[in-house]
Amino acid sequence: MDLLLKKLNCFYEKLDLHLQSSKRDCGVCGECCKVTSVLRVYPLEMENIRRLVKNGVKMKRFRDFTGNQVVDIWGGPSGHCPFQEGDLCGIYAFRPYQCRVYGHFDYQGRSLPGRCVYRGHATRYTRREELPLYDEFNRLTKGYGEAAQPDDPNTNPPPG
């Protein structure tokens, strides 16, 4: 397990380097976490966050909030991500894949908040497979945990 989590974090570093090519810096307004309608957290990512977060109450709220699947963020019963701290992400260094690509990639060109520095500059996508390094990420996370299921092309891809 430790090796798999190490590979995940190495993958995150590789992805972040890949995304730096956008030549834009996040405006750290926190709008993405406030207005995004869906989030996907894979079971391996959830385990990674669980091992790095030392707050059991927040972790339980995050598990309940995400359910390890695509979820409505602001329309759901729990309200918002428990790791949102003002305008900042409390788990930014080990945030999930979908949070990392959000902004750089815009689902069908319509999901970025008005104040986002990437709005109008993001790459539009319609399928998860168009996201950067997605195949590598899918191979890394596929099969981990009971909730890990193959992507269903008929579900809406999450933007962040």
pLDDT the model gives residue 80: 67
- Reported in sequence order, the residue ranges of the chain that DSSP labels E, i.e. its strands, are 38-39, 71-72, 84-85, 88-89, 105-107, 123-125
Asked if the structure places residue 160 within a domain, the reply is no
Quote the Cα angle for 102-105-106, to 5°.
90
In this model, does residue 87 exceed pLDDT 60? yes
Asked if the structure places residue 150 within a domain, the reply is no
* Tokens read off for 53: 């977060």
In this model, does residue 96 exceed pLDDT 90? yes
DSSP annotation of 158 reads P
pTM above 0.85, yes or no: no
How much is the average pLDDT of 22-48? 79
Asked if the structure places residue 159 within a domain, the reply is no
CB atoms within 10 A of CB 62: 21
| Amino acid symbol at 73 | I
In this model, does residue 136 exceed pLDDT 90? yes
* Tokens read off for 62: 């995050």
Asked if the structure places residue 90 within a domain, the reply is yes
| Residue-range definition of the domain harbouring residue 28 | 2-141
Pairing of strands 105-107, 123-125: parallel
Asked if the structure places residue 15 within a domain, the reply is yes
By C-alpha distance, which of 102, 83, 126 is closest to 19? 102
Asked if the structure places residue 59 within a domain, the reply is yes
Asked if the structure places residue 151 within a domain, the reply is no
CB 41 within 8 A of CB 98: yes
148 pLDDT band, cuts 50/70/90, is very low
- Number of compact structural domains in the chain: 1
In this model, does residue 25 exceed pLDDT 80? no
pLDDT the model gives residue 137: 96
Sign of the torsion angle spanned by Cα atoms 150, 67, 131, 135: negative
How much is the average pLDDT of 36-50? 83
Asked if the structure places residue 154 within a domain, the reply is no
CB atoms within 10 A of CB 68: 18
pLDDT the model gives residue 75: 40
Round to whole Å and give the CA distance between 19 and 16: 5
